[in-house]
Amino acid sequence: MQALLKKVSGYDVLDLSGAVEALKGLEGALPKGVKPVKFDQAVEVAIRLGVDPKQADQMVRGSIVLPHGIGKSQRVLVFAQGDNVAVAKAAGADHVGGKELADRIKDGWLEFDVAIAAPDMMGVVGPLGRVLGPRGMMPSPRAGTVTQDVATAVKEYKAGKVEFRVDSGSNVHCIVGKMSFGAKELQENIEALLAYVRGLKPSTSKGVYMRGLAISGTMTPSISVAVWRSFYSRVLCSRWFNGCFMSRQIKDLLIGEIQSRVGDVRDLLVVDCSKLDAVSANKWRLALRKSNISALTVKNSIARNALSRLGVGELGDVLSGSSTLIWGGDDVVALSREISKWARQLAGLEIKGATVEGQQLNAAGVEALSKSPGRTELIGQIAGCMLAPGGLLAGALQGPGGMLAGQLKKISGEE
């Protein structure tokens, strides 16, 4: 566990797809001689909500059938009588009965995962609250486990339906699959759960609703997931959302996010980092952060709108396909050098272009700019002229801006 904790501590807060891939790759990162666990670990999601569970109208609770199930066949017990007994057995229930089952449970028998009850059996089930309630197994109309349609309830739980409820710390915990699931299957299960929980937001809950998100395996440390990215990654990147109507409210939120992040920056590079694996992407982003460089993956049409409002130069065809905006560092030349260096090291990182001093550059232009003298070199040249004749010094003082402008003009002309 210590080796995995050390590995996870080096991760930045990841988007959902990156976090899932990182989680699945943890066992492969074990030191030589440390054996992985011998069972298929369950994958769990923990969501921190902005609700007060002490308030009855802010209790978040529900159940959902995940798209790919949870990789486990649940043992279903049904309290029924009359015709519902045969219906429950035909649907696949493991145990069906009435008072005799209730008596066994009172005596300590708990060899089942889910309890379902027909409404006419609540007189028998009610006294079991002291036993089943603390374990989260008490049949409830809100959870769908007290129902007249016993057959459907049994089939849903057999197919992998899961229940959840907010705890006293305002957290929701829910199993979303097994470590043997593919990354895509786990991600789709988690996205389905998040969408469902988001739809359960109480009207009396104020402020930020989803405040934290983490995923973990049975025997692994948790990996933090950026809540903003986990929701807006569907908006920014997914094929599902690109073909759908986007409300003005969501557009304004995304535009505002880009504007607040970019601020008064006017020189930007654009890269495609979609082909990077989770480990490489995390390593790259951490290195950029240490160099005071920011990276933001965007939806192209939203980015054009936001950058236009900020007065940033036109990026034209550079904003097409998968796009991540890059800015920061000592100056634009140092920035282009840093990104060009990483593009040579990481096969999945592609430089698409830039806007510098209002001029658009393609990938070749960025490469050429990276070979130009930057701010540090130009200051060094000026310092070297401090003891030189006044005319030479004046020329050097006027040189940096004109030199860069001349280089950009030359580069743009070559394009």
Mean pLDDT by 10 residues, the chain (415 residues): 70 80 80 79 92 89 85 89 92 93 92 92 91 87 87 87 88 92 90 86 83 89 74 46 50 76 88 82 82 86 87 82 89 91 92 89 89 64 51 48 50 51
Supply 351's token pair: 């430089």
Strand ranges inside 154-290, DSSP E: 161-165, 171-178, 210-217, 223-224, 268-272
Phi, psi (rounded to 5 degrees) for 96:
-135, 135
What is the DSSP secondary structure assignment for residue 244, as one 8-state letter? S
In the chain, what percentage of residues exceed pLDDT 90? 28
The domain limits of the chain are 2-55+179-242, 76-159, 254-376+406-414
Which residue type is seen at 203? Answer: S
Cα(215)–Cα(356) distance, integer angstroms? 40
So what's the pLDDT on residue 391? 47
* pLDDT at residue 403 in the model: 46
Taking residue 83's Cβ as centre, other Cβ atoms within 10 Å add up to 10
Number of Cβ atoms within 10 Å of the Cβ of 154: 27
CA–CA separation, 73 vs 54, rounded Å? 34
346 within 8 A of 284, measured Cβ to Cβ:
yes
Q: Measured at the alpha carbon of residue 343, what is the angle toward residues 10 and 234, in degrees to the nearest 5?
A: 65
Please give the class, per CATH, of domain 2-55+179-242.
alpha beta
- For residue 183, how many other CB atoms are within 10 A of its CB? 16
Rounded to whole angstroms, the Cα distance separating 298 from 255 reads 10
- Matching fold, domains 2-55+179-242 and 76-159: no
138 conformational bin, left if phi > 0, alpha if psi -120 to 50, beta if neither: beta
Q: How high is the pLDDT of residue 239?
A: 39
Q: What is the pLDDT of residue 73?
A: 76
Q: According to the model, what pLDDT value does residue 281 have? A: 79
The residue type of 337 is R
User: Counting Cβ atoms within 10 Å, is residue 48 exposed (0-12), middle (13-18) or buried (19+)?
Assistant: middle
Q: Which CATH superfamily is domain 76-159 in?
A: Ribosomal protein L1/L10, domain II (3.40.50.790)
User: Considering just the CA atoms, what is the radius of gyration of the chain in Å?
Assistant: 29
Q: Which CATH class is domain 254-376+406-414?
A: alpha beta
Question: pLDDT per residue over 102-154, tens digit each?
Answer: 999 999 999 998 999 999 999 999 999 889 988 888 998 877 899 999 999 99
Task: Kindly give the pairing relationship between strand 76-79 and strand 359-362.
Answer: unpaired
